[in-house]
């Protein structure tokens, strides 16, 4: 029987922050980005993971540092994750027994950190309890009037994505790229093989998929949502496919919320006709909203 996951209490964290011990404490907020932006425990780094990365996390071939978008936070994580106590929290974590956390993002991150030799724990009661008891140590959103750069996953019904051990789309890992992290070490390409099925009839892919008639035919794709500023709609004049283009660049910082209504209407039209729809950008990285 597996041992219970190691935890720290809200009271312990409050005492660490009050006594100055927080300087040797690395806090990782595992909640979605919009919740982190709304409020988070002071000094915490947001470690939200896009739904499409969950299977790679479970397989163990996703470097944690690669999912931290802010370079300053990434450097801080790299320098401190082995030397400091690492404390992870989500919205409302209670006690975990045995393998109860095996399919949770926080549980997988915690296990991965401990396997890597880090002194990692989770916060009992999560953010909700700590905020209720010690709100003075929580930072509100400084500019709540600004749109979030990472809109809620629930807009397209993706908030409930769970980690699954079986890949119905035949997903397999791509060959590692030659990219390097900020510490100079090589890291694997963190993209799954595309296209990936998100919902019935809805697929996420890259530009290469949108130009591959075999792929489009295999998945019954007749609608293509092109989320790039300048890639052509390859078969637009053939009459076989229906296109919509949203001209924004392929970068995690892009705000997509203004395009949701037309994108959702286009997706709903395709699904109502039981046609496959491909949502693609250039590399298939930042459109997993």
Q: Please say whether the beta carbons of 256 and 200 come within 8 A.
A: no
User: Using CA atoms, how far apart are residues 232 and 213, in angstroms rounded to an integer?
Assistant: 15
DSSP state of 239: S
User: Using CA atoms, how far apart are residues 202 and 175, in angstroms rounded to an integer?
Assistant: 25
User: Using CA atoms, how far apart are residues 225 and 234, in angstroms rounded to an integer?
Assistant: 12
Q: Please say whether the beta carbons of 182 and 74 come within 8 A.
A: yes
Q: How far apart are the first and last CA of the chain?
A: 37
User: Using CA atoms, how far apart are residues 104 and 89, in angstroms rounded to an integer?
Assistant: 12
| Per-residue tokens: 110 | 């915690």
For the chain, the residue count is 289
Q: What is the largest CA-CA distance in the chain?
A: 68
For 153-206, give the secondary structure using H, E and C.
HHHHCCCCCCCCCCCCCCCCECCCCCCECCCCCECCCCCECCCEEEECCEEEEC
For residue 76, give the 3-state DSSP assignment: helix
**Distance set, CA 272 to CA 22, 37, 69 (Å):** 52, 35, 36
User: Using CA atoms, how far apart are residues 212 and 215, in angstroms rounded to an integer?
Assistant: 5
Would you name the residues annotated as active-site residues? 281
């Amino acid at each position: 029987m597996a041992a219970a996951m190691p935890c720290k209490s809200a009271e312990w964290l409050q005492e660490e922050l009050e006594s100055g011990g927080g300087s040797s404490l690395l806090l990782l907020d595992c909640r979605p980005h919009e919740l982190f932006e709304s409020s988070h425990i002071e000094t915490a780094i947001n470690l939200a993971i896009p739904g499409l990365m969950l299977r790679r996390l479970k397989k163990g071939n996703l470097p944690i540092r690669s999912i931290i978008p802010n370079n300053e936070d990434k450097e801080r994580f790299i320098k401190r994750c082995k030397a400091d106590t690492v404390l992870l929290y989500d919205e409302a974590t209670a006690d975990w027994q045995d393998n109860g956390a095996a399919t949770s993002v926080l549980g997988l991150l915690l296990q991965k950190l401990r396997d890597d030799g880090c002194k990692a724990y989770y916060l009992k009661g999560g953010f909700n309890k700590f905020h209720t008891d010690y709100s003075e140590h929580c930072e509100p959103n400084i500019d709540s009037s600004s749109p979030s750069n990472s809109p809620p996953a629930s807009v397209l019904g993706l908030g409930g994505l769970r980690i699954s051990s079986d890949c119905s789309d035949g997903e397999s890992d791509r060959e590692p790229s030659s990219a390097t992290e900020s510490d100079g070490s090589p890291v694997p390409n963190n993209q799954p093989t595309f296209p990936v099925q998100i919902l019935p009839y809805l697929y996420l892919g890259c530009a290469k998929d949108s130009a591959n008639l075999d792929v489009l035919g295999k998945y019954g794709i007749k609608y293509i949502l092109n989320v790039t500023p300048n890639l052509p709609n390859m078969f637009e004049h053939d009459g076989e496919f229906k296109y919509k283009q949203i001209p924004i660049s392929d970068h995690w910082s892009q705000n997509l919320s203004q395009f949701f209504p037309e994108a959702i209407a286009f997706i709903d039209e395709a699904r109502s006709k039981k046609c496959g729809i491909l949502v693609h950008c250039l590399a298939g990285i930042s459109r997993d909203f």
